[in-house]
Amino acid sequence: MKPPAKAELRRHSIAAELIAVLVAATNGQPRVMTIDSGNALPSGPFELGHRSLQSGLRDWVEQQTRHPLGYIEQLYTFADRDRAGDDAHRVISISYLALAREGQAESADKATWRNWYDYFPWEDHRDGTPPALPEIIVPQLNTWAKAADNTLIRSERQQRTAVAFGLDGHSWNEELVLQRYELLYEAALVEEAHRGRVKNPTPSVFGPAMAADHRRILATGIARLRAKIKYRPVVFELMPPTFTLLQLQRSVEALAGRLVHKPNFRRLVEQQELVEETGAMTADMRGRPAKLFRFRHDVLAERAVAGTKLPVSRA
């Protein structure tokens, strides 16, 4: 079979949308760029004038947020009919993960940086397991699991819940952000599962919904970033030119949503030769002044795609 002719291709035309999960890490908190008062991610249609998907994305984000993009990586392409929102005009959503340092310049469209745990309160385990997990979320998921009429579906739901939320024997895996969100969606605990129906008046424990499936895309981005910081030195895209090892550690912890062992973190960073001293020290800090480091940009060339791992302990 030959590729279809041009005329035939056009007949199947469909709109394509570009969506960005733009992440920063500021003062030890993970941040995500939103528009529309925190209700949506920056996005816009892919147009014939765009040179490439990436440049189209840059255009839209910089126009909507006046914030430049640094590192960019493709996340996923969605086209689910049932999740699109109200009616079914077909749109393909091509999502990207973008990393940057938080700047000022919030502009039109009510572009604002938000703490991403506003949208996923159950994902932040830096101060231990959030109380809402054992007290509210897990019980409600269990109720949902037991509500299945079929024994098979019931045990499958319980199995998935246990793996995703680290129950009976399983340990918490911070990378399963998307699986957890999908479970909450299936269990209709999250507001966007009721789209079109009753508006849930209690945002509290489950966080606020976002437009269309933007919260799912955000979950995808967080999951990808949490996985990636372990084997690629992407954190440095989020750091200022010069930083202390503790600041670096705090950024990693912010993204991972869990604490790491300080001595081991330092050991790994130094033995991997990811950073070099600037010679300067911090001042105006509370404790003992710390050495300032900068990222060794040449390692990007040297090891390039190869393995460069930062620790995020598993227990």
Partner DNA sequence: ATATATATACTCATTTGGAGCATATCTCCT
Partner DNA sequence: AGGAGATATGCTCCAAATGAGTATATATAT
Query: What does 1 interact with, of a second copy, DNA, none (CB < 5 to 8 A by kind)?
Result: a second copy
Query: What does 9 interact with, of a second copy, DNA, none (CB < 5 to 8 A by kind)?
Result: a second copy
Query: What does 160 interact with, of DNA, a second copy, none (CB < 5 to 8 A by kind)?
Result: a second copy
Decide if residue 157 touches a second copy (CB under 8 A): no
Q: Which residues contact 206 (CB under 8 A, 6 or more apart)?
A: 121, 137, 184, 189, 190, 191
Task: For the CB of residue 232, give the shortest distance to DNA in the complex, in Å.
Answer: 14
- Among 32, 40, 97, 209, the residue binding a second copy under the rule CB under 8 A is 40
Number of residues assigned to the chain: 315
Closer of 1 and 283 to a second copy (Cβ): 1
Closer of 18 and 235 to DNA (Cβ): 235
Size of the site for DNA (CB under 7 A): 24
- Among 26, 142, 173, 244, the residue binding a second copy under the rule CB under 8 A is 173
Decide if residue 94 touches a second copy (CB under 8 A): yes
Query: What does 301 interact with, of a second copy, DNA, none (CB < 5 to 8 A by kind)?
Result: a second copy
11-49: burial string, b at 16+ Cβ within 10 Å, e else: eeeeebbbbbbbbbbbeebbbbbbbbebebbbbbebeee
Beta bridge partners of 40: 35
- Among 134, 139, 143, 156, the residue binding a second copy under the rule CB under 8 A is 156
Query: What does 84 interact with, of DNA, a second copy, none (CB < 5 to 8 A by kind)?
Result: none
Closer of 89 and 291 to DNA (Cβ): 291
Closer of 283 and 305 to DNA (Cβ): 283
The token duo for 209 is 């919904």
Closest CA to 288 of 253, 240, 244, 236: 244
> What CA–CA distance (Å, rounded) separates 109 from 207?
22
CA dihedral 141, 144, 145, 148 (to 10 degrees): -170
Looking at residue 273, its amino acid is E
Binding to DNA, residues 239-278 (CB under 7 A) = 244-246, 261-264, 266-268
First to last CA, the chain: 53
> What CA–CA distance (Å, rounded) separates 254 from 124?
8
Decide if residue 285 touches DNA (CB under 7 A): yes
> What CA–CA distance (Å, rounded) separates 150 from 307?
45
Residue 45 CA, distance from chain mean position: 21
Other C-beta atoms lying within 10 Å of the C-beta of residue 204 = 11
Burial grade of 85 (CB within 10 A; 0-12, 13-18, 19 or more): middle
Fill in the per-residue mask, 115 to 154: x = in contact with a second copy (CB under 8 A), - = not in contact: ----------------------------------------
H or E element in which residue 181 lies? helix 177-186
Binding to a second copy, residues 287-306 (CB under 8 A) = 301-306
Query: What does 163 interact with, of a second copy, DNA, none (CB < 5 to 8 A by kind)?
Result: a second copy
- Among 28, 36, 188, 311, the residue binding a second copy under the rule CB under 8 A is 36
Decide if residue 173 touches DNA (CB under 7 A): no
**Which residue ranges make up the site for DNA (CB under 7 A)?**
244-246, 261-264, 266-268, 282-283, 285-291, 309, 311, 313-315
